[in-house]
Each structure stands twice: as C-alpha cells, then as structure tokens.
C-alpha cells in the first residue's frame, strides 16, 4: 500500500468510505465488520464516516458506532488508523438530507461523535456541508473552538467551493487539512478546488469516486457500464486484468498528489479490490486515454507517493 500525507500524518493512498455499511441496503453486522477488517488487512488506514450515516429517521451515529466496534474487534494494530467523521447534516424520516451548520449544533455533534467513536479526540472532523442559513465563518469558527478545546485534532470542510476553502484557511490556518468534495470520472466540477488543495497542501478526499463507473450509494444499487463515454476505463481494465473501478481509482491517484479517494464498500472483496488500486501505476499513455474520456484538465502537480 502506497501512502500519502494528510495533515502531517501518513495515511493509505486509498481510504474506505464506510457509509454503505449503515444506509439503505446495508449489510448485516457480520459482513459490515468483515468489510472494515478487510480494509485494515489491505493496509487501509483512513476510514471515513459521519454522524448522519444511518437509516432515515433513525438515531444518528450508526456508522460511527460500527466503525468503533470494528476497530475494537480487529486483531491487529490500529494505532496508525485515522478515523475521519463529519457533522452538520441530518437524515430525518423521509430520507431527505438536511443541513445544520450552527456552531451550537456542530459543537454538540462533535462531542457526541467523539463519545460514539470512543476516543479522547476525533482524529479528523469535517464540516459536512456549508449551511446557507448560517454564515460560513460561524460554522468554521466552531471547528476552531473544537480544535482549541482538544475535542478534535484536525479539521476539514466538505462540499466546499474554492472561495469557502480560502475563507476556512484564513480562520483555521494550518489546522485546516482536508477538503472532501465529490470528484469522479463523471464528476469533474471540483477541478478548481482540487488545484487549490494541491497549492495549499491540503488533502483532497473525493467522495463517490467511482461516478461514471458505479453509482453512488446515494443513488441506489451499484452497477457498471462498459460502453459509452467511459468505455476507456473498461478497456484499460481488460488489458491490465483488473476491475474498471480499480482503474478509476488509479486514475484519480494519478491526477494529483493531494487526492486520497475514499471509495465505499459493503463487501470485503470490494474494498480489497479498491485498496489494490494504490499499487496500480498507469502509464502516461493509459492516463492520456482516460483523461480524454473524462474531459481534458491540467494536472495540479506531479504525483509522488511514499
């Protein structure tokens, strides 16, 4: 497993998005725990969760508690594992995703997440989404207070644009370490944010990184397409003898040293396949083919890993 840097920490180049283990269509607990353990066995040291990853109308924190149980039950060393969680969204009955970025809510949510995870301080805590009803500086200010109080060790923002990233940086300084936006073969809207992260030395954590190859867990059951715009991913996969999803993750890693994809998984074999993408090095010719399929875009910086 290759590694990348997040807030001065050395983490796996591919993480695990744990959301599918707790939302609609989730597996039973035995398989869910086995999925997390398979990720750890494969060298994954970044686990992404959130307090809102639960069934609609259910009690917040299902996914956080599950991740905590999985780490406790794991037979190996977990000291290098970074658990990243998020606050500021909700899932009331009906299935809609709500937003609440008030400082009071975020501070209470972070404390609740800390207790569910069973840690003295949350490794990485991210504002899940800017709240249009709350001044952005107030929401980020709550992260600063959580950092100062020692409730969280590192802070990030999610679903943020370039201007918001700069404003968060002005408030948090070097304690802002990550941006978690949607980015995938089919979703390139965050190219400006990716370039900014590379410039500022922030980790960029693409959520739903297989868009175009697989549907997001938010969109329903996973599926793949072997024709059309993204056929190049399937062609390269066939030539390499690997999955198109693995090629997509390798392509993401090749785009920028800031990128640490966090693909979701609900089966052990799925995360094992995703983790293997960290060691799949694409040739310049393959990368060019895949860039052409997704739309041309300048690379933020040369890619280096450890």
The catalytic residues are 53
Q: What kind and span of H or E run contains 17?
A: strand 16-17
Q: How many CA atoms lie within 13 A of 283 on its CB side?
A: 7
Look up residue 45 and give its two tokens. 């040291």
Residue 225 in contact with residue 211, Cβ under 8 Å? no
Residue in the structure block whose two tokens are 């397409």 = 225
Q: What is the DSSP string of 105-130?
A: HHHHHHHHHHHHHT-SSEEEEEE-S-
Beta strand 122-127 pairing with 152-158:
parallel
DSSP tag of 152: E
For residue 83, what are the β-bridge partners?
Answer: 47
Residue 83 in contact with residue 120, Cβ under 8 Å? no
């Amino acid at each position: 497993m290759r590694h990348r840097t997040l807030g001065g920490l050395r983490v796996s180049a591919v993480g695990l998005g744990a959301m599918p283990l707790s939302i609609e269509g989730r597996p039973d607990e035995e398989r869910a725990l086995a999925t997390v353990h398979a990720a750890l066995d494969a060298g994954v040291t970044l686990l992404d969760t959130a307090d809102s990853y639960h069934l609609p109308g259910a009690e917040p924190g299902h996914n956080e508690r599950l991740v905590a149980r999985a780490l406790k039950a794991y037979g190996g060393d977990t000291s290098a594992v970074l658990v990243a969680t998020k606050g500021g969204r909700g899932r009331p009955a009906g299935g809609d995703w709500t937003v609440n970025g008030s400082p009071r809510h975020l501070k209470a949510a972070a404390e609740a997440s800390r207790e569910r995870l069973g840690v003295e301080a949350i490794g990485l805590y991210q504002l899940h989404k800017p709240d249009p009803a709350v001044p952005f500086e107030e929401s980020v200010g709550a992260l600063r207070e959580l950092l100062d109080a020692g409730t969280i060790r590192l802070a990030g923002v999610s679903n943020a644009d370039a201007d918001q990233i700069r404003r968060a940086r002005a408030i948090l300084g070097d304690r802002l370490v990550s941006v978690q936006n949607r980015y995938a073969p089919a979703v390139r809207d965050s190219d400006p944010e990716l370039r900014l992260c590379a410039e500022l030395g922030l980790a960029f954590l693409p959520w739903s990184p297989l868009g175009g190859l697989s549907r997001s867990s938010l969109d329903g059951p996973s599926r793949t397409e072997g024709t059309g715009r993204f056929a190049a991913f399937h062609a390269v996969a066939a030539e390499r003898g690997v999955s198109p999803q693995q090629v997509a993750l390798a392509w993401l890693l090749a785009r920028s040293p800031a990128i640490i994809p966090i693909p979701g998984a609900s089966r052990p074999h799925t995360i094992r396949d995703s983790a293997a993408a960290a060691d799949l090095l694409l040739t310049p010719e393959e990368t060019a083919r895949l860039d052409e399929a997704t739309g041309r875009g300048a690379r933020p910086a040369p890619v280096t890993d450890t």
